[in-house]
Amino acid sequence: MTKTSFSRRNVLAGLGATAGLLAAPHIASAQASAGRVVVIGGGFGGATAARYVKLFSPDTDVVLVERDATYITCPFSNYVLAGIRDLNSITHRRDPLRQRFGVRLVRGEATAVDTNARSVKLKDGASLPYDRLVVAPGIELNYAGVPGWSEQAANTVMPHAWKAGPQTVLLRKQLEAMADGGTVIIAPPANPFRCPPGPYERVSMIAWYLKNHKPKSKILVLDAKDAFSKQGLFMAGWESQYPGMITWIAGKDGGKVESVDPKGMTVTAGFGKEKGAVINVIPPQTAGRIALDAGLAEANGWCAVDPASFASRKAQNVYVLGDASIAGAMPKSGTAANSQAKVVAANIAASLRGVTAPTAVYHNTCYSLVTPDYGISVSDTYRPGPQGVAVVPNSGGVSPARAEAAQRKAEANYTMGWYAGIIADTFG
């Protein structure tokens, strides 16, 4: 195993926005331990956790288990739909985690966890013992959650595109093939789900493409919810940038999808039946499959955790973070997973040495584009509380309802900077 040089300076440099962890010099200066940490899942949460365990505790053996060779980010995949990014630009390798930080990368799929024996079983039959386990599998799509829909329908005519990759390409090709004057139907799910503002940024980016290439077309948003993240900002942006193109129907007004017909390319909602030229079904979701199979999830399909550490409520020496967890007021976002992962890494490093972990502070920032030059955002800081992770009052905010074009443009630029920063912080 390659050992990474370690100093208090590089720990402080790597901590980024997780300010609470800056109070953890006792972890940085602790002597080496011989523990092993296995991380399941190499997305924003898992990759960050693996990296930061090595930063906090360089002599810990950290093994990252991931099925896919590369990671295609859901953030920015909406820009692929708009044609302002390509898939290669949002595809990332994890090699720097091995080369720069000494994380061992195991290409494989975790199929079972024995929490009593502290062992992870892989699809090829191999077993990985652990002292601490991090489970960051992301989401599982519920294909049965929309009557009439199926995995086959998603892969052929009604893509979800909620896991970036081939589904993103399929939806993009459908938009390109659509005749001018067609209707694009987008059906977001009820809460909770991955990336609450994501469906509405998608609406914006598809509108951008249609405005520039097929201006007679319409977008119909059939929502299971009565309200959504950054709603006022999005709807004001739609009105100013895409007047008359977008119709949003709330669940209480009949917007909730009751069923779909992939052959007829129709959607039946509370108000009746509608035909679409392109139909994007974003289904209900749960924690990723391995979290369900390992018995880490509650009856609602998500994993309850200690808000101070993200330790599982279901198993000792196991931590669940990112989209799979119940994180109180924190949304299911890349930034949230990245922030949670640093707290998890600090707690693991502390527990392996028998010292007290620092007090947790979490952060989330979410940028969205309405057009390539029109950005909006929301940001908050969080602390653990008796009811779970809670927002620190007056710690964040949203973009102003009214702003000059220069400010919207600046936020669009910040969006690009945010992405470059979190990719570097996650994958090295």
How far CA 389 is from CA of 206, 308, 378, 418, in Å, comes to 34, 8, 17, 23
Residue-level pLDDT at 12: 34
Q: What does DSSP say about strands 362-371 and 374-385: parallel, antiparallel, or unpaired?
A: antiparallel
The whole domain housing 294 covers 36-141+285-356
Residue-level pLDDT at 216: 98
Q: Are residues 41 and 105 in the same domain?
A: yes
CA dihedral 409, 410, 411, 417 (to 10 degrees): 120
- Lowest-pLDDT range, 10-19, 77-86, 155-164, 297-306? 10-19
Q: Are residues 157 and 209 in the same domain?
A: yes
What is the count of structural domains for the chain?
2
Q: Are residues 134 and 194 in the same domain?
A: no
Q: Are residues 330 and 345 in the same domain?
A: yes
Residue-level pLDDT at 34: 67
* Helical spans, DSSP H, in 221-333: 231-241, 289-293
Q: Is residue 313 part of a domain?
A: yes
How far CA 421 is from CA of 54, 155, 373, 424, in Å, comes to 19, 32, 19, 5
Q: Are residues 175 and 272 in the same domain?
A: yes
Show which of 249, 281, 313 is a domain's final residue: 281
Distance from chain centroid for Cα 80 = 17
Q: CA–CA separation, 201 vs 219, rounded Å? A: 13
Q: For 340-352, how does the pLDDT look when each residue is reduced to its tens digit (9 = 90+)? A: 999 999 999 999 9
Q: CA–CA separation, 97 vs 113, rounded Å? A: 24
Q: Are residues 169 and 275 in the same domain?
A: yes
Q: Are residues 168 and 137 in the same domain?
A: no
Q: Are residues 308 and 193 in the same domain?
A: no
Dihedral of CA 117/121/127/129: which sign? negative
Residue-level pLDDT at 64: 98
Q: Are residues 155 and 276 in the same domain?
A: yes
Q: Is residue 194 part of a domain?
A: yes
Number of neighbouring beta carbons within 10 Å of residue 177: 10
Q: Are residues 93 and 184 in the same domain?
A: no
The arithmetic mean of pLDDT across residues 72-76, rounded, is 98
Q: For 284-293, how does the pLDDT look when each residue is reduced to its tens digit (9 = 90+)? A: 999 999 999 9
Residue-level pLDDT at 11: 37
Q: Is residue 219 part of a domain?
A: yes
Where does residue 86 rank: exposed (0-12), middle (13-18), buried (19+ CB within 10 A)? Answer: exposed
The arithmetic mean of pLDDT across residues 90-101, rounded, is 97
Residue-level pLDDT at 375: 98
Please list, in sequence order, all residues whose beta carbon lies within 8 angstroms of the beta carbon of residue 177, skipping any fewer than 6 positions away: none
Q: For 45-71, how does the pLDDT look when each residue is reduced to its tens digit (9 = 90+)? A: 999 999 999 999 999 999 999 999 999
Q: Is residue 203 part of a domain?
A: yes
Q: For 295-324, how does the pLDDT look when each residue is reduced to its tens digit (9 = 90+)? A: 999 999 999 999 999 999 999 999 999 999
Show which of 332, 356, 380 is a domain's final residue: 356
Q: CA–CA separation, 138 vs 133, rounded Å? A: 15
Give counts: helices (H), strands (E), the chain: 12, 25
Q: For 229-268, how does the pLDDT look when each residue is reduced to its tens digit (9 = 90+)? A: 999 999 999 999 999 999 999 999 999 999 999 999 999 9
What CATH number does residue 325 fall under?
3.50.50.60
Q: CA–CA separation, 74 vs 224, rounded Å? A: 21
Q: What does DSSP say about strands 218-222 and 183-187: parallel, antiparallel, or unpaired?
A: parallel
Distance from chain centroid for Cα 406 = 29
Q: Is residue 349 part of a domain?
A: yes
Residue-level pLDDT at 123: 97
Q: For 355-376, how does the pLDDT look when each residue is reduced to its tens digit (9 = 90+)? A: 999 999 999 999 999 999 999 9
Residue-level pLDDT at 36: 97
Q: Is residue 362 part of a domain?
A: no
Show which of 263, 281, 299 is a domain's final residue: 281
Q: For 195-216, how does the pLDDT look when each residue is reduced to its tens digit (9 = 90+)? A: 999 999 999 999 999 999 999 9
Q: Is residue 413 part of a domain?
A: no
Q: Is residue 120 part of a domain?
A: yes
Q: Are residues 88 and 101 in the same domain?
A: yes
Residue-level pLDDT at 6: 32
Q: What does DSSP say about strands 278-281 and 183-187: parallel, antiparallel, or unpaired?
A: parallel
Q: Are residues 130 and 198 in the same domain?
A: no
